[in-house]
């Protein structure tokens, strides 16, 4: 049987129409980017199985995700930030890493030991373990560069997760996590709402590979993809977190509320009044109700409080966001008892009454 891959899955799986629409929407973007500069780099803090770490978070510009070039996921605007033409040379990727280290040195005051972050997180707007994005030579050079750090997280689609690649890091004694954009544990929602091609069983296989190399798994979930009502999105996240907690080796779930990114299908729906990002109350509800699961659950609502990001009424957004960030570090659901607002009533009504976009077609 052929191995699942973006190329195999593009055709004939009911995704052709999604992909065609996505290519057309993305084609409206005509900006280009410098292959010697990282897409973004910043310092922050993360809760890990070994406690809270300072993290240097790097978004490498690798030419972008193969799947995104076929059309890609309905909410993903990252490909719009990638280099045109597909590949970035080893020297350019290493130059990007050097720029990230410069950023770390310039902001060393923000790090608790005043020197360097204990954890490195590398995202690529695609798959770090896809050798068309990051060649083996570059992967090894990056592993060697960061061999003195305690922890590293690299992002990959599950099909590219092989134990040999991960051993570049684990053999150097770095605690390694593979971050997989699972989005949801429900295959139908992943296919039809997110337009992502793989199955939950692929995620389970990736977890087995990671474990074999001595690494862990972080699942990235998407709170409220398009075409789901608020209550369906909440239920999908609760179910997904519980299924992830049951996968051996999956120690952390990062739940990302959808934000409206440029040149995406979600943005098109948003312009047509067909999409609203999730309420922050929904994020709090999911975190509260899954707090007892045997997995760390964190959420970093990007663009919170704005129309394009997860938001409540405008009055309470900062307070609820602070409670969520507090929960991320302490995993204590009592933080949510300390925030309230009149708009909770509206949110409850939305959860009660909202029905999926354009459904039912016939009563």
Closest CB 140 distance from ligand SF4, rounded Å: 23
67 in contact with ligand SF4 (CB under 6 A): yes
Q: For residues 55 and 45, give the distance between their C-alpha atoms in angstroms, rounded to a whole number.
A: 5
Q: For residues 255 and 64, give the distance between their C-alpha atoms in angstroms, rounded to a whole number.
A: 22
259 in contact with ligand SF4 (CB under 6 A): no
The β-bridge partners of 121 are 57, 153
Closest CB 283 distance from Zn ion, rounded Å: 13
316 in contact with Zn ion (CB under 5 A): yes
| Contacts of ligand SF4 in 178-207 (CB under 6 A) | 181, 196
Q: For residues 331 and 275, give the distance between their C-alpha atoms in angstroms, rounded to a whole number.
A: 30
Give the one residue of 58, 59, 68, 134 binding ligand SF4; rule: CB under 6 A.
68
343 in contact with Zn ion (CB under 5 A): yes
Counting residues that bind ligand SF4 (by CB under 6 A) gives 13
126 in contact with ligand SF4 (CB under 6 A): yes
For the CA atoms of 11, 15, 16, 17, the dihedral, rounded to the nearest 10 degrees, stands at 170
Q: Are strands 151-155 and 175-183 parallel, antiparallel or unpaired?
A: parallel
Q: Which stretch binds ligand SF4 (CB under 6 A): 53-61, 63-71, 105-113, 163-171?
A: 63-71
76 in contact with ligand SF4 (CB under 6 A): yes
**Residue (56 or 341) nearer to Zn ion, CB:** 341
**Nearest Cα residue to 152 out of 24, 58, 31, 279:** 58
Judge contact between 294 and 245, C-beta under 8 A.
yes
Q: Which stretch binds ligand SF4 (CB under 6 A): 65-73, 91-99, 165-173, 263-271?
A: 65-73
Q: Among ligand SF4, Zn ion, none, what binds residue 9 when CB lies within 5 to 8 Å by partner kind?
A: none
Q: Among ligand SF4, Zn ion, none, what binds residue 327 when CB lies within 5 to 8 Å by partner kind?
A: none
278 in contact with ligand SF4 (CB under 6 A): no
Q: For residues 225 and 195, give the distance between their C-alpha atoms in angstroms, rounded to a whole number.
A: 10
Give the one residue of 72, 226, 309, 310 binding ligand SF4; rule: CB under 6 A.
72
DSSP letter for each residue of 88-152: --HHHHHHHHHHHHHHHHHTGGGSTTSS--SEEEEE-SS-TT-TTTS-HHHHHHHHHHTTTSSEE
Q: What is the DSSP letter of 337?
A: G
**Residue (63 or 277) nearer to Zn ion, CB:** 277
Show Cβ contacts of residue 20 under 8 Å, excluding neighbours closer than 6 positions. 71
138 in contact with Zn ion (CB under 5 A): no
Q: Name the residues that contact Zn ion, by CB under 5 A.
A: 312-313, 315-316, 341, 343
């Amino acid at each position: 049987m052929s191995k699942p891959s973006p190329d195999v899955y593009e055709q004939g799986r009911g995704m052709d129409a999604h992909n065609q629409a996505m290519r057309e929407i993305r084609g409206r973007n005509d900006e280009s980017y410098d292959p010697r500069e990282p897409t973004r780099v910043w310092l922050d803090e993360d809760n890990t199985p070994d406690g809270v770490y300072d993290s240097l978070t790097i978004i490498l510009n690798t030419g972008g995700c193969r799947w995104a070039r076929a059309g890609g996921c309905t909410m993903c605007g990252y490909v719009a930030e990638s280099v045109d033409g597909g590949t970035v040379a080893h020297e350019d990727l290493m130059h990007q890493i050097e720029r990230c280290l410069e950023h770390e040195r310039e902001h060393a005051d923000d790090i608790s030991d005043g020197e360097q972050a204990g954890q490195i997180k590398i995202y690529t707007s695609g798959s770090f373990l896809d050798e068309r994005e990051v060649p083996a030579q570059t992967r090894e050079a990056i592993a060697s560069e960061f061999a003195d750090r305690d922890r590293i997280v690299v992002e990959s689609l599950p099909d590219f997760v092989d134990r040999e690649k991960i051993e570049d890091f684990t053999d150097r004694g770095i605690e390694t996590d593979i971050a997989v954009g699972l989005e949801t544990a429900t295959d139908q929602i992943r296919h039809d709402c997110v337009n992502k091609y793989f199955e939950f069983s692929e995620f389970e296989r990736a977890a087995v590979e990671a474990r074999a190399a001595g690494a862990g798994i972080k699942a990235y979930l998407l709170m409220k993809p398009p075409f789901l009502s608020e209550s369906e999105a909440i239920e999908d996240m609760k179910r997904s977190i519980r299924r992830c907690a049951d996968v051996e080796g999956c120690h952390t779930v990062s739940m990302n509320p959808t934000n409206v990114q440029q040149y995406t299908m979600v943005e098109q729906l948003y312009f047509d009044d067909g999409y609203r990002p999730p309420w922050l109350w929904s994020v709090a509800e999911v975190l509260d109700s899954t707090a007892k699961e045997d997995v760390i659950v964190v959420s970093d609502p990007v663009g919170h409080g704005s129309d394009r990001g997860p938001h409540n009424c405008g009055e309470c957004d900062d307070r609820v966001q602070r409670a969520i960030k507090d929960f991320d570090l302490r995993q204590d659901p009592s933080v949510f008892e300390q925030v309230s607002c009149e708009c909770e009533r509206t949110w409850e009504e939305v959860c009660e009454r909202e029905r999926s976009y354009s459904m039912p077609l016939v009563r």
